[in-house]
């Protein structure tokens, strides 16, 4: 297959792997990808995924690929908290929640990290569609906070002070029925205690 034809086939994909290619070219050989990579026509992302070299990486593409590389998963934890302005600085790579085991993949744009939770806790995310029609899943603010608290070792208000979270975006969690409902689904006393500490932190 000539690269020009290949490029036209994958242009509408933000990234692709060998399985994607073999849907339209069943006899495609993996070695061809190495050849095109050496010619700087494509570049590796991670976990067997590639991008066209002229494709500009951005946060939306990285998050969509993070969803796809390790399914089921959704963006949460530090990446989502930074997105909502809770964490003041940007986060390199992507942090996600998955029903599968904890995993990490290294990429040129930072580490893709997946933290494991029980399958019944895979809720509370929304699907965002980009201007290209691509989609990614990201936790709502309420769920991103709970995911973080659930997996953290926070034991005091001082621990929240050390995190240096912006309080303003978190004020919507006070007397928030969605936040309260999500908390109950976890059915975890230690999480409920951390939520109480968070409310105390927001009142300080």
- Residue 203: the pLDDT is 87
Q: Determine if residue 21 is left, alpha or beta; phi over 0 gives left, psi from -120 to 50 gives alpha, anything else beta.
A: alpha
* In a shared domain, residues 122 and 195: yes
* In a shared domain, residues 88 and 153: yes
User: What range defines the domain where residue 46 resides?
Assistant: 3-52
**pLDDT tens digit sequence for 21-72:** 999 999 999 999 999 999 999 999 999 999 999 988 889 989 999 999 999 9
* In a shared domain, residues 48 and 65: no
* In a shared domain, residues 75 and 35: no
- Residue 46: the pLDDT is 92
What is the DSSP code string of 36-87? HHHTTSEEE-STT-EEETTPPP-HHHHHHHHHHHSSSEEE-HHHHHHHTTSS
Task: Name beta bridge partners: 97.
Answer: 74, 115
* In a shared domain, residues 73 and 111: yes
**pLDDT tens digit sequence for 93-149:** 999 999 999 999 999 999 999 999 999 999 999 999 987 788 999 999 999 999 999
* In a shared domain, residues 13 and 114: no
* In a shared domain, residues 11 and 111: no
Between 150 and 204, name the one with better pLDDT. Answer: 150
Distance CA 157, CA 192 (A): 14
**pLDDT tens digit sequence for 152-195:** 999 999 999 999 999 999 999 999 999 999 999 999 999 999 99
How many domains does the chain fold into?
2
- Residue 89 pLDDT greater than 90, yes or no: no
Q: How confident is the model at residue 19 (pLDDT cuts 50, 70, 90)?
A: very high
* In a shared domain, residues 27 and 108: no
pTM of the model: 0.91
């Amino acid at each position: 297959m000539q690269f020009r034809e290949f490029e036209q086939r994958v242009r509408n994909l933000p990234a692709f792997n060998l399985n994607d290619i073999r849907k339209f070219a069943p006899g495609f050989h993996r070695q061809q990808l190495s050849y095109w990579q050496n010619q700087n026509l494509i570049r590796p992302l991670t976990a067997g995924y590639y991008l066209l070299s002229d494709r500009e990486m951005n946060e939306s593409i990285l998050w969509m690929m993070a969803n796809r590389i390790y399914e089921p998963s959704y963006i949460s934890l530090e990446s989502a908290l930074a997105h909502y302005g809770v964490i003041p600085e940007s986060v390199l790579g992507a942090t996600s929640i998955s029903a599968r085991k904890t995993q990490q993949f290294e990429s040129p744009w930072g580490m893709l990290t997946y933290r494991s939770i029980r399958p019944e806790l895979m809720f509370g995310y929304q699907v965002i569609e980009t201007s290209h029609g691509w989609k990614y899943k990201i936790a709502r603010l309420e769920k991103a906070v709970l995911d973080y608290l659930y997996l953290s070792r926070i034991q005091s208000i001082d621990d929240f002070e050390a995190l240096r979270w912006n309080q303003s975006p978190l004020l919507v969690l006070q007397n928030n029925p969605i936040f309260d409902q999500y908390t109950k689904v976890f059915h975890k006393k230690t999480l409920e205690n951390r939520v109480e500490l968070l409310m105390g932190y927001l009142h300080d």
